[in-house]
Structure 1
Amino acid sequence: MYKVLSIAVAALLLASCDGEWVNTPPEDKSEYIFFDIDNAEHGWEVGFADYDSETVSPDLLSYGFEQLPPTRDDLSGLRVSGDNRSSDLFMYITKRFSGFEPNTRYELAMEIMFASNVPSGCLDASASPGEGVTIKAGATTFKPAVIDNGAGDFYMNLDKGSQVSSGSDAIAIGNFANSKTCESGDFSYEVKVLHNDDDSFFVETNDSGDLWILFGTDSGFMGTTTIYYLGGEIKATEVL
């Protein structure tokens, strides 16, 4: 049910976390969560925000658990796709994890593995389909959700920042561009890993010791972005 993504696999299994595992090495007071996102059994949910119904219709937004296209059809993941027609579209995945200490402040080191088909250095009239799509990671004690203001505008119930900027509930950790160059003309999917090692993120658990983990794409590119989420890792360290 979980994927080992680092040397910390030698950890002692401590507690179940909604089908995943929290791992605590004897010499480390941090808790580790290793997770897959390759099928619906893992419990990840998808949402779309920062758009209005006049510019983006539901048929332009989609998701599903699928095998990746060639040349990475050896992998499966959660596909999230949207056609951004307003230069601002947020697409996210989220899941609740339990088993943390209640009412406790943690520093989170968040890592996400995904597949991108956009080389670096590609530009169009609006923005780059790679560098213009910011990857964000965050956590909250409440369920991340999309709010409809009644006038056809959809936005998040949390502070994720705007495009390249970070918010209090989610921070920018990189962009969608892969390691290929646009000049190569190679738009096949490539696996990429991002983390927030250079940007600390803090959150305090609720009375139940729950956290909702979130990853997403905050796009300033007017066009279609299709990302495949594969798996990741969370390291939660109590802040004394």
Structure 2
Amino acid sequence: MKKYILIAILAAAGLWSCNEDSLDASITVDSNFQSGTGGTDGWTPEYAGFAATADSTQLDTVAATALLPRGLDTTQYGYRILSRYSKGNMFSYLKKRVSGFTPNKSYEMVLQVDLATRYTASTIVDKVTFKAGVSPIEPLTKLVSGTYTFNLDKGTGNQSGKAVLLAGSIASTNSDTRYHTLLRYSNDGQPVTVVANNEGELWFFAGTDSDYKDTTIFYFDRIIARFKEL
């Protein structure tokens, strides 16, 4: 019940919004994926980095809400991402549009992403980097010269590009391979400045940039962004 307790605390403090696509006066966007198969909270999955010629022996992708695995609260849901690309680097990500901002207005934002993974520092961590960002431009996967390419500057591998506000390890500090929840904050929890587009929108994305050639599985447990208009 940990998610519901935290949500109740935030709601009591006036910090939580249940609106998927717009902002209330608290200027908080909160996705916790708690409605089963319908609990995507407006997030959609995409993949980039793989060749257009890749077949099922090289490429495998699955993205859907699912109950959290053993080691966590198995009565709660998360957004489960499975990916495998045996020929090179692949970016597996979720994206979401949020409207209701003042067009072209600047905001201070703190982004928090709760990941559930079972990886340790001695496994695949050096080949998989978690990345997240917020952009006035929609994150897209486009076919460019035979490769499905991410349209924003996310950087390559463990290097962060200009569009990335949060990056880091998917490894738990625990030595076992059970699932654990990792809390990741943009700018070490300090606000960063973002600017809404002409329509008063911002686009969120979060995923893993992986050079691991075998299957990677992780869960988004919760994604929260808190804004203050400047």
TM (norm. structure 1) is 0.79
Label 1:205 to 1:134 Cα distance change in 2 as closer, same or farther (>3 A): same
Which deviates the most, 50-59 or 112-121? 50-59
Structure 1 segment 53-132 matched on structure 2, within 5 A: 53-55=52-54, 57=56, 60-72=60-72, 73-122=74-123, 129-132=124-127
Return the offset for 1:47: 0.4
Distance 2:210 2:81 in 1: 13
Label 1:19 to 1:172 Cα distance change in 2 as closer, same or farther (>3 A): closer
Q: What letter is aligned with 1:105?
A: S
Q: Say whether the 8 Å CA contact 2:17–2:30 is kept in structure 1.
A: no
Return the offset for 1:97: 0.9
Instruction: Find the partner of 1:34 among 16, 22, 30.
Output: 30
TM (norm. structure 2) is 0.82
Q: Deviations over 1:23-80 (max 9, x none)?
A: 53xxxxxx32222134434111000001114456486111111112323323311111
Distance 1:180 1:14 in 2: 31
Name the structure 1 match of 2:133: 138
Distance 1:205 1:231 in 2: 23
Distance 1:229 1:189 in 2: 12
Label 1:102 to 1:20 Cα distance change in 2 as closer, same or farther (>3 A): closer
Distance 1:139 1:224 in 2: 27
**RMSD (CA atoms):** 2.8
Return the offset for 1:190: 1.2
Which deviates the most, 203-212 or 32-41? 32-41
Where structure 2 has 5 or more consecutive residues not aligned to the other structure, the ranges are none
Q: Say whether the 8 Å CA contact 1:161–1:171 is kept in structure 2.
A: no
Name the structure 2 match of 1:52: 51
Q: Secondary structure at the match of 1:197?
A: helix
Distance 1:22 1:130 in 2: 38
Q: Say whether the 8 Å CA contact 2:106–2:193 is kept in structure 1.
A: yes
Q: Deviations over 1:136-169 (max 9, x none)?
A: 1111223211001252x11111111112122222
For the pair 1:204 / 2:195, whether they are aligned, the reply is: yes
Q: Say whether the 8 Å CA contact 2:119–2:171 is kept in structure 1.
A: yes
Q: Deviations over 1:172-218 (max 9, x none)?
A: 4221111222xxxx322111111113376432111221111111111
Name the structure 2 match of 1:154: 148
Q: What letter is aligned with 1:60?
A: D
Q: Secondary structure at the match of 1:51?
A: coil
Instruction: Find the partner of 1:167 among 161, 168, 188.
Output: 161
For the pair 1:238 / 2:225, whether they are aligned, the reply is: no
Q: Say whether the 8 Å CA contact 2:130–2:209 is kept in structure 1.
A: yes
Distance 1:14 1:135 in 2: 25
Distance 2:144 2:105 in 1: 33
Q: What letter is aligned with 1:71?
A: G
Where structure 1 has 5 or more consecutive residues not aligned to the other structure, the ranges are 25-30, 123-128
Distance 1:7 1:162 in 2: 38
For the pair 1:192 / 2:182, whether they are aligned, the reply is: yes
Distance 1:13 1:116 in 2: 27
Residue identity (%): 25
Distance 1:68 1:11 in 2: 27
Q: Say whether the 8 Å CA contact 1:65–1:77 is kept in structure 2.
A: yes
Distance 1:137 1:164 in 2: 12
